[in-house]
Structure 1
Amino acid sequence: MHHSDDSCAAEEVSAIHQPRLWQDKGWTARVIKNEDGDGWAVEMIQDGSAEPALVGPWTMGRNKVDPKPLDAAAFQTLVKTASEVIRRHEQQLHARLNKQCQIETEAGSVSVRLAVTPDEYEPFGTLTAVDSFGEVIASVKVPADFRLTRESAGRWADSGFGKIGRHG
């Protein structure tokens, strides 16, 4: 299969396969000198990210001086591990930003959900009440630090799911 030189030049340029620097599939693996002590470490950085998602120990090569060269299999494993770390981190973040509780009202069981929208300047929360049929009864904007508890959800329900003031 032949093609003109410029068709996928961008991809060819972005992939780097060197013993200590491997860049591919949206990730960069870099083998670095271990800061605390001897030996080597490897850092995995996702494209567009300033911080490494993963920094781990890296094996010595046969000569016991230089690091083991990176290869496709090692890179694949590193990508899997780093992706896993990012996913766990996102799940923890999601859990921190999303809370839910069940309350009983005259109209039946209601699920109250709080979703916090992180924002550098004005983070806010959205409180949503959903009935047992999955229908949204009400949705209001609340302060980002609103604490969702059975009590606060109950008070909101008692108020007829009205706007929530600063006092909560």
Structure 2
Amino acid sequence: MKKYLNYLTAALFLSLAVLSSCGGDDSDGDGDGDGDGGINLGEVAELINGDYTATSVTQPGDAGDWDSFVLTISGATASGADYAATGVPAGYEAVWPASGELAFSVAADGSLEITRDGSIDMDATQSSTGADLELSFEVTTGAARTNSVNGTWTFDLEKSAN
């Protein structure tokens, strides 16, 4: 009988140890409880508001003159933000419309993904300080300037000090 009590005590101890390690810990901190270890969308929202100036714009073909391009992101929450784009070269409005909405999500690999205006998925990399932002996305349009606009665009942006 004493042998069974020892087994019962050991089983009870192990059960308590297992149960105490379980719980409602959201280890990735993004508030969605998926525990994917990815980015925290709340932190993204805190860092992303501001004016971003293009330091580099690449596209396979004629990328146009983006020297005066400024992307302003405002009203950010964990789910999204508003944007306004100025300095877009004439004929490149399909690449960056004057204004719209951004939606934030976590991609399958745990990285930040931004969807512009509900249809353009952008791979995004934000520095830990929020000072730099890289956006990469595909543009496909049937516009007359197809050869100049279509393709993968990458914007390296630097946040202006406010």
So what's the TM-score if we normalise by structure 2?
A: 0.31
Q: Which has the larger radius of gyration?
A: 1
When normalised by structure 1's length, the TM-score is 0.31
More helix by share: 1
